[in-house]
Amino acid sequence: MKNTKHIDIVGAGIAGLTTALAMAERGHTVRIFEQSPALEEIGAGLQLSPNATRVFDTLGLRDDLADVWYEPDHLQLVSGLSLRTLARLPVRTMSRDRWKAPYAVIHRARLQDVLMKACRRFSSIEFEFGKRIETPMRGDADVTVGADGVWSSLRRTVRGSAEPRFSGYAAWRATMPIAELPASFSRTDVTALLGPGAHLVIYRIGSETINLVATIPEHRSEKGWNLKSDAGRLLSAFKRWHASIGIVLAKAEWRHWPIYEVADASWRGGDNTILIGDAAHAMAPHAAQGAAMAIEDSYELASWLDRTDIETATALMRFEAHRRPRIRRVGQRGLLNKFAYQAIGPFRLGRDIVFTLRGGQSLLADLDWLYGYEAG
Ligand SMILES: Cc1cc2nc3c(=O)[nH]c(=O)nc-3n(C[C@H](O)[C@H](O)[C@H](O)COP(=O)(O)OP(=O)(O)OC[C@H]3O[C@@H](n4cnc5c(N)ncnc54)[C@H](O)[C@@H]3O)c2cc1C
């Protein structure tokens, strides 16, 4: 017998919208509370790996997304000092052939548009914009989902949860017209330029625009997602890199994001509150998996809540126990990437040799556990 549940979701980000869709698809009713009066055009590019795009396939969004995302040919690992290519990972063909789902890059706002439009097709999803929620609403909800991001308010109501802590890094982000990117940089690949203490990732989002993300150490720890920035600090972090990188960096208008992480701690409050996405486990973007984990969380939470053979509190407990090891493993992979990408001295030489000898296909095959994952 179907047991229709009513779900309150706090936050209409990627996690909140995906959860709403996955619950509504299964016949449940949803109310989403979003503090902003409308969805904002903040942020820029996101890489969506096959473990995330597979969820969107299952939700029937592949065609809508195919119009607005781009599938890069390769992930290129390039020395930021010499511009020598260390490895070219054939991500387009391997994603489609090996993991049966695309690897795509997309503007965050376009992804949110597609999710929002899909939500609007369900009369069982209601939105309340301009409504900030600090604690679970009293009322008829069976479950309150805290999808309210790294600065989650709901998390404060969860006993044993962790406070965000500054990672010691900031992500600097910019976009530029594709025509302004020097010819020495690929327009069809995701290029990760690796160098001492920093890395820079470049890829196109859409047909006209290039997205740039630089990750550098930072001592300051302002809160915020989209801070206007004097690029002096950024330029000085790259001053010993190849000259053409300095030219690219100087052309763009930068915003910066101090990176905060949420440590491994409780995600469940009482019998009916659960945190997902960045509210539960914000991670530094070294593995480009924060949104992907939010998307997997959303789909798997809906599967657990749809079960009619277990109580809601048990479903939430099992969801958390099921997701936690994967989130930990992805976090560890991010640390490994950071170490390899930003290696110095003998570690850098060792890294370059390993990347060159192993080749792109074999490096990608290491990620079966990550990209081949089927959220269910
Ligand atoms: C520089 C950078 C690059 C990244 N690149 C990638 C990438 O390539 N691939 C990838 O997978 N991930 C990437 N990430 C991570 C990704 O952006 C996040 O993990 C993802 O956006 C988390 O989604 P979310 O829905 O959990 O939270 P958010 O996107 O933060 O959404 C939270 C929503 O809740 C709302 N809200 C907050 N508080 C309240 C409240 N009290 N009441 C009501 N509403 C509230 C907010 O307004 C917002 O709409 C990157 C992150 C950074 C910083």
The alpha-carbon radius of gyration of the chain (Å, integer) is: 21
Mean pLDDT in residue range 5-11: 97
pTM: 0.95
Q: CA-to-CA distance for 356 and 8, rounded, in angstroms?
A: 50
**39 vs 116: which has the higher pLDDT:** 116
Structure-block tokens of residue 15: 């996690």
Residues 182 and 247: beta-carbon distance below 8 Å = yes
Predicted complex ipTM: 0.96
Alpha carbon distance 3, 127 (integer Å): 22
User: pLDDT grade, residue 224 (50/70/90)?
Assistant: low
Distance CA 369, CA 330 (A): 10
Q: Ligand 1 mean position to 85 CA, how many Å?
A: 32
269-318 pLDDT, tens digit per residue, is 998 999 999 999 999 989 999 999 999 999 999 999 999 999 999 999 99
User: Does 173 sit in the ligand 1 pocket, CB within 6 Å?
Assistant: yes
CA–centroid distance, residue 349 to ligand 1 (Å): 35
Per-residue b or e along 284-306, where b marks 16 or more CB atoms closer than 10 Å to that residue's CB = bbbbbbbbbbbbbbbbbbbbbbb
Q: Is 238 in the pocket of ligand 1 (CB under 6 A)?
A: no
Residues 6 or more apart whose CB falls under 8 angstroms from that of 151 comprise: 164, 223
> pLDDT digits over 226-256, tens only?
666 678 889 999 999 999 999 999 988 898 8
% the chain with pLDDT above 90: 77
Is residue 270 within 8 A of residue 135, CB to CB? The reply is no
CA atoms within 13 A on the CB side of 136: 22
What number does the ligand 1 atom closest to the CA of 278 have?
A: 26
